[in-house]
Structure 1
Amino acid sequence: MLYQDEKYIKEFAGASMQSFSEFREQFRKYVLARDMEELRRAGHKIKPAALMLNLNVIIDIYEESKTLIEEDAPDAKLHGVADRMDAYCNQILDEFSNIV
């Protein structure tokens, strides 16, 4: 079966590491800049991978960030949501690094 192919799994993990690393950086940048358009682009790119891997926390934090921006939340709340996303993405990246 394809998913039991070690080479495929390592390639998938490597590609996922790149995607989640880029998303982590973009998420922080766009949330703190309150740039909803770019935030949505970044979210649109990572959402399929997050759903496929059942990483619902990524989706939840992303949706929360959009709400905070729409409600013109204080900067401290935006920093908090960005920090939570950083921590969660770092955890994901650590797990993928064990595969690659």
Structure 2
Amino acid sequence: MKRIADFDAADYLDSDAVIAEYLNAALEDENPDVFLQAVADVAKARGMGQLARDAGLGRESLYKAVAPGAKPRYDTVFRLVRALGIELRATPMSRTTPTRKRATR
């Protein structure tokens, strides 16, 4: 009987462009655990120890920060993203309802 190998996204995260698209797709999900799992996958692809050093974190702290259900601080996520060489950008969402106008004084 043949066994199918488990899928591991880290096996396919082999370029900066692929990593950026993967993280962008994860950011589209409202569940923050999806983004943290994506960061964990990228960290695994790049090497957990190296990422921890680049982010100024202990290896154990990195594992805790990206564990399912973790609630890492903003500065931790920011340091991880920077250490991965990724920029997060804000762009306006397309809206179906008009934006509110500011009241004039």
* TM bucket, shorter chain: 0.3 to 0.5
TM-score (norm 2): 0.36
Q: Max radius of gyration: which structure?
A: 2
Comparing both chains, which one has the higher relative contact order based on Cα–Cα distances under 8 Å and sequence gaps of 6 or more?
1
TM-score (norm 1): 0.37
